[in-house]
Structure 1
Amino acid sequence: MINQFRKLNPINLLLLLAYTFFMRIVIFYEMPAQLNFDFLEPFARLMINIDLDKAFSPSTNIFFASVLVFSQALIFNRIINNHNLLSKPSFLPALMFITGASLFLPFMVLSPALLCNFLLIWLIDKFLKLNKSLNSITTVFDIGMIIAIGTLIYFPFMAMLIMIFLSLMLFRSFNWREWIAGLIGFLTVFFFLAVFYYWKDNLSSFYQIWKPLGNKFPSVFKINYNDYLVLIPVALIIILASLQLRENFFRSFISTRKGFQMLFFMFIIAAVSFYLKPDFRTWHFLLCVPPGAVLLAYYFSNAKKRWFYETLFLLFIISVQYFLFV
């Protein structure tokens, strides 16, 4: 299967579509009685107040979630191939993206994090372009606005502001205009939101938006470890990929090395940003899928022993399906 997706064969598009729905068999088999979908944060509903819970039945919700994941996988695949992060162009990034977006049942329904993944993929493209631009002020300003829009959808997306400064340190020499351009882009969106709150004579509520920024990082976690056993094969593949990346690190292009460093930081920030949402759900970790999928794809793109990597991926899929059903 891996060998098939190592090629840019058009038939892989149909295989990916079938694979997307195959990985969601369990949720179609055990259809939830009701699914809630709030596609905006409460503070943004003052401008756009649409109730989609009644518009989407559970089956419609799951179907559209599958279509969105498939669409994201294709966009993501094109971006990774365009920036030459892997040894050669392939459909492996899309395959790993769909697999990562199918690890848990909460990943398979419409959620704010799923919508934000479109913006996160766009950000990855923007960040990787920083190294190729003579003047990145406009690009960084756009990045700030994208993060602000994502924050309206899902508040923890604001943590991606940190990525602006980390990426500028990785890809650019210091230019104070670029460093503030991202913040200005972010604040521009919220300036218009503040004006709207003021117009509605509700400015005091606008200040409440920022309360989660004062949350302390939790020191105690309540985790049911049985729910996360499926991450064992993921961790194994990531370890193998890290060893392989380390071996090839100094033989890679500088832009490739910096790209993987940027994706590593993005993965960490996406994971820890859950603390900005006290009532966060498991689907929050969908934000980790794009940067994580690149590392998984890197391993399978460079692995040499076919019998081993094909068997490893097959066991990975079997374990995902097993833990989803049990």
Structure 2
Amino acid sequence: MINQFRKLSPINLLLLLAYTFFMRMAIFYEMPPQLNFDFLEPFARLLINIDLDNAFSPGANIFFATILVFVQALIFNKVVNNHNLLSKPSFLPGLMFITGTSLFMPFMTLSPALIANFFLIWIIDKFLKLGKSANSITTVFDIGMIIALGTLIYFPFMAMILMIFLALLLFRPFSWREWLAGLIGFMTVFFFLAVFYYWNDNLTSFYQIWKPLGNKFPSVFKINYNDYLVLIPVVIIIILASLQLRENFFRSFISTRKGFQLLFFMFVVAGASLYLKPSFRIWHFLLCVPPGAVLLAYYFSNAKKRWFYETLFFLFVLSVQYFLFV
């Protein structure tokens, strides 16, 4: 299967679509009786009053989530290939993205984090263009606005502001204008939101938006470790990919090395941003899938022994399906 997706063959589009539904067999087989979908953060509903909480039946919810994941996988695949992060263009990034979004049942339903992944993939593309741009002020300003729009949908997405500064450190010589441009882009969206609150004589509620920023990072997590055994194959592949990346690191293009460093920091920031949400939901970690999927794809793109990497991927998929059904 891996060998098939190493090629940029049009038939892989159909195979990828079939694989997307295959990885969601468990949730289609045992459909939840009710699924809610909070499309926007409460503070953004005054601006855009769309109530989708009960707009979809459970079947429709899962179906549309599957289609969105497939579309995201195609966009993500194109971004990774366009920036030459792997040894050669392939459908492996899309394949790993779909596999990553199938690890847990909550990943397979409509959620704010799933929608926010569109914005995350967009800013990954923008970040990777920073090193190739002569004047990046406009790009950084756009990134700030994209992060603000993502924050309207899912508040922890705000943590991606940190990635602006990390990306500038990696890709650009220091320029205070560029550092300021990202913040201005972010604040522009919230400035208009504040004006809207003011027009509706509700400015005090606007200040409540920022209360989660004062949350303390949780020191205690209630974890059922059996629910996360499915991550063991992921950890194994990440370790193998890291060893392979280290071996090839200084033989890679500088832009590729910086790209992987950027994605590593993005993975960490996306995971740590859960502290911005008072109630923990496992679908939050959908934000970790795009940067993590690149590393998984890197291993399968560069692995040499076919019998080993095909068997490893088969066992990976088998373990995902096993834990989903069990």
Query: Considering the TM-score relative to the shorter chain, is it more than 0.5?
Result: yes
Question: Which residue type is aligned with residue 241 of structure 1?
Answer: A
Q: Aligned partners of 2:199 and 2:136: how far apart in 1?
A: 34
The amino acid of 1:203's aligned partner reads L
2:321 alignment partner in structure 1: 321
Q: Which residues in structure 2 correspond to 1:50-199 (within 5 Å)?
A: 50-199=50-199
What is the SS of the residue equivalent to 1:90? Answer: coil
User: Secondary structure of the residue that 1:130 maps to in structure 2?
Assistant: helix
5 Å matches for 1:300-319?
Answer: 300-319=300-319
Distance 1:88 1:101 in 2: 23
Corresponding position of 2:271: 271
Taking structure 1 as the reference length, the TM-score comes to 1.00
Q: What letter corresponds to residue 81 of structure 2 in structure 1?
A: N
Q: Supply the AA of the counterpart residue of 1:143.
A: I
| Structure 1 position 278, deviation (Å) | 1.1
Does the CA-based 8 Å contact 2:271-2:287 persist in structure 1?
yes
Residues 281-305 of structure 1 show CA distances to partners (whole Å, capped at 9, x for unaligned) of 1000000000000000000000000
Pairwise CA distance, 1:218: 1.1
Q: Which residue of 1 aligns with 2:200?
A: 200
State the distance in 1 between where 2:261 and 2:83 align.
14
CA distance in 2, matches of 1:82, 1:15: 21
Counterpart secondary structure, 2:26:
helix
Match of 1:298 in 2: 298
Distance 1:49 1:279 in 2: 23
2:249 is the alignment partner of 1:249: yes
Give the CA deviation at 1:280. 2.5
Q: TM-score, normalised by structure 2?
A: 1.00
Q: Give the distance between the partners of 1:53 and 1:162, measured in 2 at CA.
A: 31
Distance in 1, matches of 2:193 and 2:53, equals 25
Distance in 2 between the 1:236 and 1:198 partners?
52
- 2:17 is matched with 17
Distance 1:240 1:125 in 2: 26
Aligned counterparts of 1:185 and 1:280: Cα–Cα separation in 2: 29
Q: Residue 211 in 1 paired to residue 211 in 2?
A: yes
Q: Matched residues in 1 for 2:278 and 2:40: separation?
A: 16
Q: CA deviation at 1:53?
A: 2.6
SS of 1:33's equivalent in the other structure is coil
Provide the rounded CA distance (Å) in 1 between the counterparts of 2:58 and 2:303.
Answer: 40
Q: Distance in 2 between matches of 1:245 and 1:47?
A: 45
Could you tell me whether the CA contact under 8 Å between 2:37 and 2:54 is conserved in 1? Answer: no
Q: Give, in whole Å, the separation in 1 of the partners of 2:146 and 2:290.
A: 16
Question: Counterpart in 2 of 1:230?
Answer: 230
Runs of 4+ in 1 over 2 A off after TM superposition: none
Give 1:54 shift: 2.9
Q: 1:85-105, CA deviations, whole angstroms, 9 ceiling, x for partnerless residues?
A: 000000000000000000000
In the alignment, the residues of structure 2 paired with residue 48 and residue 128 of structure 1 have an alpha-carbon distance, to the nearest angstrom, of 31
% identical equivalent positions: 85
Structure 2 CA distance for aligned equivalents of residues 128 and 296 of structure 1 = 19
Counterpart Cα distance in 1 of 2:174 and 2:117 = 29
- Alpha-carbon deviation of 1:220? 1.1
Residue 71 of structure 1, CA deviation: 0.2
SS of 2:220's equivalent in the other structure is coil
Mark the runs of 5 or more structure 1 residues left unpaired by the alignment.
none
Provide the C-alpha distance between the structure 2 equivalents of 1:247 and 1:216, rounded to a whole number of angstroms.
39
Which residue identity does 1:200 align to in structure 2?
Answer: N
Q: Give the partner amino acid of 2:126.
A: K
Quote the Cα distance in structure 2 between the aligned partners of 1:38 and 1:25.
24
Separation in 1, partners of 2:257, 2:53: 44
Aligned residues: 326
Tell me which amino acid in the other structure corresponds to 1:115: I
Q: Deviations over 1:151-185 (max 9, x none)?
A: 00000000000000000000000010000000000
| Preserved CA contact (<8 Å) 2:145 2:188 | yes
Residue 122 of structure 2 aligns with an amino acid whose one-letter code is: W
